[in-house]
Structure 1
Amino acid sequence: MLASAWATLLAACGTPPSAPVQPANVAGTTARPTGVARTWDEYKLRAARRIHAANAAETFSGPLPDPLQSIPVLQVKLNRDGSIKDIVTLRVPRQSPETLELARRAIRRAAPFEPVAHLPQPWQFNETFLYNEQLKFQLRTLAEAP
């Protein structure tokens, strides 16, 4: 009787009893994505999560300080296999210019990224690093993620 009630409850929720439970899609999660990213927006979010996970000791969470200490913006150009082809500086921070190199190292630490051959060219994405006074960062992509 209890098993029947449980099956009825699960059926009412629309989740079959054998369906695996997936981790919540939370910014900064280290859960391994399934399948390939279908769009550049999805790819960029996965790349940001990978950068965050690979550099957890250098990140901060919570509200962004006002003003931010430094805001370097980088463009990551990729090879078809997800390896880094080049990292181009789009914005050099006026304050704490050393964060530019910190951001470059954070990206390299996270590489290689997922393959991109199935996505339209150019194979690249931009990322904005938001540094606080302790020179720890949040990624704009994750700060703005729903």
Structure 2
Amino acid sequence: MSLIDRAKRAAHWLIGPVLAACGGPRAPAPVPAPAPPQSPVVAAAPAPAAAAMAPKPAGMPSPKAVRTHDELRRQAAERLVQANPERSYTTPAPPHLLTVIVVDVEVKADGSVRKINVIRPPKYGPETLQMAIDAIHRAAPFGDVRRMPEPWKFTETFLFDENRRFKPRSLD
């Protein structure tokens, strides 16, 4: 091997990494993003067939027209208990609850359910979410809201006890 060949080989070995490093700063290897947390807001499906077919309890009065959001929330809470007597309780909430669910219920002008958004899903007892949604559909309509300012919606918190019965927080 001649002196020139050795010099070329040495130049490749010495200058190659230097030239590669001069190409500008390398971007660090992409760090995989953590999986996004499950969104707490979940649009609920329309009324399931079982809830839609369930008869309203006898003695359910027709809802009154409401003019304020507070009236709507209070009337909705009362109707939830009236429409679901065996699935609800009105006594003070026990010190230990199974789970707490928070939903936004958007209503149409006649008070029927347009959409249910889950703000806080259950941490325990996942079946309680469907129980709450079914209870809302059984209690609807919640009263004529045309004289009320928009948005026509209310927020309800369901306090589920160990027996999987709920209490609307609005009744406290």
TM-score when normalising by structure 1: 0.72
For residue 111 of structure 1, report the CA deviation from its aligned partner.
Answer: 1.1
- Aligned residue identity for 1:38: R
Distance 1:69 1:89 in 2: 17
> Identity of aligned pairs, percent?
39
- Aligned residue identity for 1:117: R
For each residue in 1:3-47, what CA deviation from the matched residue of structure 2 results, as whole angstroms up to 9, or x when unmatched? Answer: xxxxxxxxxxxxxxxxxxxxxxxxxxx785896323211121011
Q: Which residue of 2 aligns with 1:50?
A: 79
For each residue in 1:25-71, what CA deviation from the matched residue of structure 2 results, as whole angstroms up to 9, or x when unmatched? Answer: xxxxx785896323211121011101110001111232211221011
What do you get for the CA RMSD once the two structures are aligned?
A: 1.9
Runs of at least 5 residues in structure 1 that lack an aligned partner in the other structure: 1-29
The alignment of Structure 1 onto Structure 2 pairs a total of residues equal to 114
Q: Which residue of 1 aligns with 2:101?
A: 72
Distance 1:93 1:68 in 2: 11
Distance 1:109 1:33 in 2: 13
Aligned mate of 2:132, from 103, 118, 123:
103
Alignment of 1:1-146 (within 5 A): 32=61, 36-142=65-171, 144=172
Distance 2:108 2:157 in 1: 21
Runs of at least 5 residues in structure 2 that lack an aligned partner in the other structure: 1-58
For residue 93 of structure 1, report the CA deviation from its aligned partner.
Answer: 1.2
Distance 1:141 1:37 in 2: 16
Asked if 1 retains the 8 angstrom alpha-carbon contact of 2:63 and 2:142, the reply is no
Asked if 1 retains the 8 angstrom alpha-carbon contact of 2:64 and 2:144, the reply is no
Distance 1:58 1:31 in 2: 16
Larger radius of gyration: 2
- Aligned residue identity for 1:102: M
TM-score when normalising by structure 2: 0.61
Q: Which residue of 1 aligns with 2:39?
A: none
Asked if 1 retains the 8 angstrom alpha-carbon contact of 2:63 and 2:141, the reply is no
